[in-house]
Structures are given as C-alpha cells and as structure tokens.
Amino acid sequence: MEDRTRRMLQQLIRRIPTQMLKTSLSRWGRLDAEQWRSLDFTQRKVVWTESLLALCEESGLGVKHITELEMIYDARSVELTHFKEQFKAHLAELNRHVSVKIKKHTDEEVWIRIAWGDSFSRPNHLKPTYVVCYLQTPYVFVNNLTSVQKPLLSQALILATRYSSIKDANLSGRKLTGIRDLLMKQFRQLETKLKDNTNKIMTEREQPFRCVVTFASTNILESLRDSAMTGIASTPVTPLLSSITQKGRNHFVISDKGPGRLPQTPHPTK
C-alpha cells in the first residue's frame, strides 16, 4: 500500500466514530471472517486502527476500495440527516407547538425527545415523550405517550421512515435493552455451572437431584426455555412460558382454577 493511500485510509478511520466504523466495515465486506475476528474493538481505537491498516495492506487494498468505505459511511450519515429533517417537518405540520431534540446515541440508536404543547400552552418540557429508533430495523420504542399524541407521532414516523404502517407490539418493561432483545430475537446463550456443597462441578452425577436455579438475564423467558433445550431441566417447559415470545407479550396472568380450590383473584406476573 502506497504512503498516500495509507494516509488516506488512516484519516478516514479517524474521522468515523467507532460504532459507525464497525458497521461500515461490516457492510464494506473487504475483510474476510478470520481478519474480522482478529480485530479487538474493545481496545482503544488507536490500537486496533494499526491492526486494521495492516490487514488492509495485507489484502492489497487501494484508493478504489477506500473510496467505497467512505461512500458507505457518507450514505449512512445522509440517511440520518434525512430522517431528522423529515421527522421534524412532518411533526410540525401536525402540531406546530412541539419541541423536538434528536440525538444519535450509537451507530444504530437514534434518541428523540418531544415536548408537547397545544394552541393554548407552550411545550411541556417536564413531561416529554422519549422515542428510540433503530433506523436499520422496523422497530421504534416509545415512553410516556398519551392517546392524543400517539396518532401524531405514528404518522410522523411513518412519513419519515417511508413505511406504510405502524403496529403496536404490546411490550412493556423498565429495561430498553431487554425489550429490544425480545422483539429482535437477540439472545445470548447462558453459561451454566452446577456445583455441590463442596463447590465441585456436578458433571458426572448419574442420579437426578433437586436444585434452585437463579437466572441473571435481561430475558428471563428465554432463559427458562433454554433450560429445557440444553438439558438442564428434564421436563419440558410449559407452553405457557415457552410460547410467550411468539405472542408479542412480555406479561401474562396466572390463575388457579383447580378442583376443590376457592376462586382467587388473578395476579399479573412479569
């Protein structure tokens, strides 16, 4: 790789934020699987930048290929700019008394803060609506939205993203990442180690035993289902739990209607 080409690539890498660079490199497709795995993005950018430059030089990449990467990055920046302009314009047409702030949180997440007002009052910044958009996916997450504001926000999002409609997934919770992973089906396998009282791992035990399993996960339902799939639990998980993720809900009600029992008030379980 010529010095001029190396400097050109070095300047481009420095200009692109880390999260956006990872996505742009993935779409670029000029690194094979082994080269991609060799990059440690948990290190400081200045460290793995040298590794990236070496890989590009090893692959014999030139100005043409670097221009491709730059165009991918610029296209993503234009896409975000277009969304900001369109969303603000369409929402202002529906309600002129709003204050909108849009900020890119990560490469995939766009956070929107909306303070609503009306013809008789200014935008109320004490009770804003928060919206998180993933522009590369058809999913939007909303917090603190009234029934009056909902159709206005929905129409502005549809026009800005160029989708034909918007549908409520009926999911709720306190942790955004948990709801996001549930909806997008992004799950990680749990690491499970069963130990006895002497702190020895019980790998060769022939007799069944009773135990209490504690799940530390953003998605308890997937943890329960994986218990049966991985053989941790000898009996299948009840369909009541295993089918929750396909029902578009993350809450359900259990009531005991067995014979000989007094009727009880159902209690919601999350």
pLDDT tens digits along 18-50: 777 887 888 898 888 888 888 887 788 888 888
Predicted local distance difference test score (pLDDT) of residue 115: 95
Which amino acid belongs to residue 247?
K
Q: Which two tokens stand for residue 24?
A: 């742009």
Span between the terminal Cα atoms of the chain, in Å: 57
According to DSSP, the residues that pair with 94 across neighbouring strands are none
Q: What is the pLDDT along the chain (270 residues), one digit of tens a residue?
A: 788 888 888 888 888 877 778 878 888 988 888 888 888 877 888 888 888 889 988 888 888 888 888 888 877 776 788 888 889 999 999 998 999 999 887 667 889 999 999 888 899 999 999 999 887 777 889 999 999 999 999 999 988 887 888 888 877 777 787 777 777 766 555 655 555 566 565 555 666 666 665 656 656 666 666 665 666 665 555 666 656 556 655 555 655 554 544 444 444 444
pLDDT by residue (tens digit) across 116-136? Answer: 998 888 999 999 999 998 877
Provide the whole-model pTM.
0.52
Q: Where are the alpha helices (DSSP H) in 95-235?
A: 150-161, 176-184, 220-229
| Burial grade of 6 (CB within 10 A; 0-12, 13-18, 19 or more) | middle
